[in-house]
Amino acid sequence: MLVDFDTLNNESRVWVYQSNRTISKEETGEIELKIKDFLITWTAHGNDLEASFIIKYGRFIIISLNESTAKATGCSIDSSVRFIQGLEEQYNINLLDKMNVSYRHGEFIAYKPLIEFKKMIKNRSISKKTIVFNNLINNKSEFLNNWEVPIEESWHSRFFN
């Protein structure tokens, strides 16, 4: 069951899928329709899942699920991953590779492999104040408060040691 993202409670589970490239406005419109169609029919053991999504900065697909009404199961999570894999294939984008980092570079969102990102830290091309996207968040509250943070406030800070 598709609901408005703002109506989901702060404990709602969140999955962040980061794109390796900017998704065009045309693609965004198409992807939004596909996600809506998927979420309308997304179930777990026959129970409708109360879910929503947003696409941020043309780079991130955020899907959220109110698990107080029905929890995601292995099968429902598998179906969502297959759905995301279908988007990857259709739009020639990478959404599931967790070994990459997105960060703010001025007004732009930059995307680097983790190895390159570590080198940039070592070379001081990036500071502890650089804003990164912490895609390891688990719920809507963390998304709202801890998703876009300075490196020094994220798991990325360990690369400065």
Three-class SS string for 94-140?
CCCCCCEEEEEECCEEEEEEHHHHHHHHHCCCCCCCCEEECCCCCEH
Q: What is the pLDDT of residue 70?
A: 85
Q: What is the pLDDT of residue 159?
A: 87
- Tell which of 67, 91, 115 closes a domain: 91
Q: What is the pLDDT of residue 45?
A: 85
Q: Are residues 133 and 110 both part of a single domain?
A: yes
Q: Structurally, how many domains does the chain consist of?
A: 2
pLDDT per residue as tens, the chain (161 positions): 899 999 999 999 999 999 999 999 999 999 999 999 999 999 888 888 999 999 999 999 999 999 998 888 889 999 999 999 999 999 999 999 888 999 999 889 999 999 999 999 999 999 999 999 999 999 999 999 999 999 999 999 998 87
Q: Are residues 104 and 142 both part of a single domain?
A: yes
First to last CA, the chain: 45
Q: What is the pLDDT of residue 69?
A: 87
- Tell which of 91, 124, 152 closes a domain: 91
Q: What is the pTM of this model?
A: 0.93
In three-state secondary structure terms, 53 is: strand
Q: Which residues contact 24 (CB under 8 A, 6 or more apart)?
A: 58
Q: By residue range, what is the domain housing residue 120?
A: 100-160
Q: Are residues 70 and 37 both part of a single domain?
A: yes
- Tell which of 60, 91, 122 closes a domain: 91
Q: Are residues 121 and 66 both part of a single domain?
A: no
- Cα separation, 144 vs 141, in Å, equals 5
Q: Are residues 77 and 25 both part of a single domain?
A: yes
Q: Are residues 23 and 79 both part of a single domain?
A: yes
